[in-house]
Structure 1
Amino acid sequence: MSDRRICIQSSYIAPGVLLNLSMEDRKYLFNVMRCSHGDLISVTDGRGKSFKAKIINKATIEIIHEEELFTEDDFSIVLCQGILKGEKMETVIQKATELGVKKIVPFISERCVIRNTTKLERWKKIAKEATEQSGRSIIPEISDVINFSDLIKHIDNGIIFWEKERLPLIQSIHEINHKNSLFLLIGPEGGFSSEEVKQASEKGLKVASLGKRILRAETASIVSVGIVSFLMQNYDIIKK
């Protein structure tokens, strides 16, 4: 049986503390995870700490002790995603969380079909659920929606993916700063315009390709995070 894990974003979690469960957390533990009174579970605070806890009753758990959890990378990937239609955005948030991103920044660019959204709380819920499912100790932060032009003003260590670029991704990995957060920019369904790519390049972002084929936006997001995460994890080997 997989580890029974739940994320509780409480301001104070420590051994001996009794925590009240929300209705949502109760449903997850007892209906989804099939837990019972007296069972031991793992609790993460969503900020990097993990604890062993005991279920006292259907409304309360008791924190027993802190435990070590090694599911977080020592580098930080921030996924900047052009807002996608329908459930595509939810899929990207779910999979990016499973792959270890520390933050997700939804943005509006020239070719975005959706120009505004009220789904921020829904996206945060998806990130929390994906954190629990994947055994992470950190729930990725999901920021407010921002315009592309404002986004690139605040990035000094990033890669923007463009289907017309010929520079391979691995070359960009050699050129970025591995000690600072790495921002990955993926466009909406229509991709980035050439002007947006030019603006990003002028701001110092690296322009890279994910290969010879044109990928769907949601596929590009998942693939880019997966590949970059792998390259970062094995950079000491690759750079040789």
Structure 2
Amino acid sequence: MSERFFIEHPPTAAEVTFDEAESQHLAKVMRANVGDVVVGFDGRGTEYQIELTSIGKKKVIGAIRSQAEVSREASRQLTLAVALPKGDRQRWLVEKCVELGVARLVPLLTKRGVAQPVEKAIERLRRAVIEACKQCERNRLMKVDQGQSLEEVLAARPAASFLMHPSGETLHHDSILPAKEVLAIIGPEGGFTDEEVAEAAEHGCQIVSLGPRILRVETAALAMATLVTAVPGP
């Protein structure tokens, strides 16, 4: 059985009880049988080999046969603070960020934002993180924070912080190489206001561009993720 299954509550003993959604997937979709061995992961970095011992429609139980810390994380921690795009583009953005190894996604509240990160939307994105981790074999969940203002993001910024804007200088690898943690701030479809750009610069952010073309929100986010995670860490 090739699919991976999320363990919401890391086991404290030698037995695992899958939550209702994963249990239903095992029982109804995968048609799992007692004795099947599946791979589970807890979202905190541990991977498990689990032999199924009880199959119910809403409750599947298994015995842990082995476990190991298996890291498939990027060598550099990237936080993306992004003014979310509309609709299904949010889920697509999350899926690709997980695949590329982004450590943390912060829905950014801006003056020209088009999508508000309400609680239900955040929960959908967090579920999308789990599904993407199952597919790409990542064992540590990308964090999805509650919405934050630009001021809040800037208050906790690491030394290597960049705001994406067409007026900025072209971003070079040399700016990323020394950093263990990177923050990239990406604005909404209508762009940042001049005041927001000035605020970021006052807080020490580098104002940078990814080229002469105007990129969509999710394109800019993934281009930055690719640049940061592809460059070997310090």
TM-score range, shorter chain: 0.7 to 0.9
Match of 1:120 in 2: 122
User: How big is each residue's C-alpha offset from its partner over 1:93-117, in whole Å with a ceiling of 9 and x where there is no partner?
Assistant: 1111111111111111121023452
Q: Distance in 2 between matches of 1:178 and 1:22?
A: 38
CA shift in 2, pair 1:218/1:202, >3 Å: same
Match of 2:143 in 1: 141
Match of 1:25 in 2: 22
TM value normalised by structure 1: 0.86
TM value normalised by structure 2: 0.88
Aligned residues: 228
Q: Distance in 1 between matches of 2:142 and 2:154?
A: 20
Match of 1:131 in 2: 133
Q: Distance in 1 between matches of 2:162 and 2:31?
A: 43
CA shift in 2, pair 1:109/1:169, >3 Å: farther
Q: Distance in 2 between matches of 1:122 and 1:89?
A: 10
CA shift in 2, pair 1:168/1:31, >3 Å: same
Q: Distance in 1 between matches of 2:172 and 2:75?
A: 21
Q: Distance in 1 between matches of 2:125 and 2:150?
A: 19
Match of 2:154 in 1: 152
User: How big is each residue's C-alpha offset from its partner over 1:24-74, in whole Å with a ceiling of 9 and x where there is no partner?
Assistant: 102333455554332222211111111211122321111111135241223
Alpha-carbon contact 1:105-1:143 (below 8 Å) kept: yes
- Point out where structure 2 has 5 or more consecutive residues left out of the alignment: none
- Residues 162-177 of structure 1 correspond to what in structure 2 (within 5 A)? 162-174=165-177, 177=178
Larger deviation, residues 214-223 vs 165-174: 165-174
CA shift in 2, pair 1:87/1:60, >3 Å: same
Q: Percent identity at matched positions?
A: 27
Q: Distance in 1 between matches of 2:75 and 2:176?
A: 16
Higher strand residue share: 2
CA shift in 2, pair 1:11/1:67, >3 Å: closer
Match of 1:214 in 2: 214
Q: Distance in 1 between matches of 2:174 and 2:194?
A: 21
- Cα distance, 1:229 vs structure 2: 0.7
Match of 1:4 in 2: 3
Match of 1:87 in 2: 88
- Cα distance, 1:9 vs structure 2: 2.4
Alpha-carbon contact 2:117-2:146 (below 8 Å) kept: no
- Point out where structure 1 has 5 or more consecutive residues left out of the alignment: none
C-alpha RMSD of matched pairs (Å): 2.1
CA shift in 2, pair 1:9/1:32, >3 Å: same
SS of equivalent to 1:164: strand
